[in-house]
C-alpha cells in the first residue's frame, strides 16, 4: 500500500468536500487516514496460512471445539463504512486442532478486508475446514452495520446474523443444534 498516494487522495477528498486541507486541524489528517486505512485493510496483506503460523496440532478424538464472542470489525464494501459484532466458531476435530488464538486470527484476516458479512462468514468457515480437515464447521456472525445506522434507513438497533455450516454441522441436525445451544448459552 502506497501511503503517500493514499494521503494525496485524502487531501483531494477533503478539497472535494469543501474543506481546506491546510487548516490547522486537517494538516496531518491525510497521513493519519492513510495509516488508519493501512491498518483497517491489513487482511489484504496476509493470508490464512500466515495467520495460522503452523499452530495446527495433532490431537486424537472428535470433540466439538467452540470459540465464542470473537470481536469482529470490518468495512462494508458497498459504502466503506464499518460493521462490527461477534463471531462464534465451532468445529469437530478429526485429528487436528488449531491453537485457540489462531481461530480469532483467521477471522481477523478476512474481516480486515472490504467485506459483506455473508462472505466473511463463509470465508471463516472454509478456512477452519481447510486448516483442520474437520468433520464439520459452524460459524455464526452477528453484526451491526453503520451503513444502516448512520445513513440510509438510519436504524440504530438492528443487527444482521449470518451462519455457515459445513460437513457434519450441515448434515446432522443434532450436531448443528448442539453448536447453536452452546453459543447461545454463552451469551450474557
CA 91 vs CA 67, 87, 133, 162: distances in Å: 9, 13, 10, 17
Exposed / middle / buried, residue 119 (Cβ in 10 Å: 0-12, 13-18, 19+): middle
Q: Within a 13 Å sphere around the CA of 3, how many CA atoms are in the beta-carbon half?
A: 12
Same structural domain, 68 and 155: yes
105 in the same domain as 21: no
Tell me whether residue 86 is in a domain.
Answer: yes
Contact 88, 70 (CB under 8 A): yes
Do 65 and 149 belong together in one domain?
yes
End-to-end CA distance of the chain: 40
Domain count, the chain: 2
Answer yes or no: are the C-beta atoms of 83 and 74 closer than 8 Å: yes
Look up the CATH number of the domain holding residue 28.
1.10.286.10
Look up the domain containing 175 and give its range. Answer: 54-185
| pLDDT tens digit at each of 188 positions of the chain | 999 999 999 999 999 999 999 999 999 999 999 999 999 999 999 999 999 988 888 888 778 999 999 999 999 999 999 999 999 999 999 989 999 999 999 999 999 999 999 999 999 999 999 999 999 999 999 999 999 999 989 988 999 999 999 999 999 999 999 999 999 986 65
User: What local confidence, expressed as pLDDT, does residue 186 receive?
Assistant: 67
Output the pTM of the full model.
0.93
Order of strands, edge to edge, in the sheet holding 82-92?
Answer: 114-115, 64-76, 82-92, 136-145, 160-167
Q: 33 and 109: one domain?
A: no
C-alpha cell at 3: 501511503
Q: What is the spatial distance between Cα 140 and Cα 144, in angstroms, rounded to a whole number?
A: 14
Amino acid at each position: 500500500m502506497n501511503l503517500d498516494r493514499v494521503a494525496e487522495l485524502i487531501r483531494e477528498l477533503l478539497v472535494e468536500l469543501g474543506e481546506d486541507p491546510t487548516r490547522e486541524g486537517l494538516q496531518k489528517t491525510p497521513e493519519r487516514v492513510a495509516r488508519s486505512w493501512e491498518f483497517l485493510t491489513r487482511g489484504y496483506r496476509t493470508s490464512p496460512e500466515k495467520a495460522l503460523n503452523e499452530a495446527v496440532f495433532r490431537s486424537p478424538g472428535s470433540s466439538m471445539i467452540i470459540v465464542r464472542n470473537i470481536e469482529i470489525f470490518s468495512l462494508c464494501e458497498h459504502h466503506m463504512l464499518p460493521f462490527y459484532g461477534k463471531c462464534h466458531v465451532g468445529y469437530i476435530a478429526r485429528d487436528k486442532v488449531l491453537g485457540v488464538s489462531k481461530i480469532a486470527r483467521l477471522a481477523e484476516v478476512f474481516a480486515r478486508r472490504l467485506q459483506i458479512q455473508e462472505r466473511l462468514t463463509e470465508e471463516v468457515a472454509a478456512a477452519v475446514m481447510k486448516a483442520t480437515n474437520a468433520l464439520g464447521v459452524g460459524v455464526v456472525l452477528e453484526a451491526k452495520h453503520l451503513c444502516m445506522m448512520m445513513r440510509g434507513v438510519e436504524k440504530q438497533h438492528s443487527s444482521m446474523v449470518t451462519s455457515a455450516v459445513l460437513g457434519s454441522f450441515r448434515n446432522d441436525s443434532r450436531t448443528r443444534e448442539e453448536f447453536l445451544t452452546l453459543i447461545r448459552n454463552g451469551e450474557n
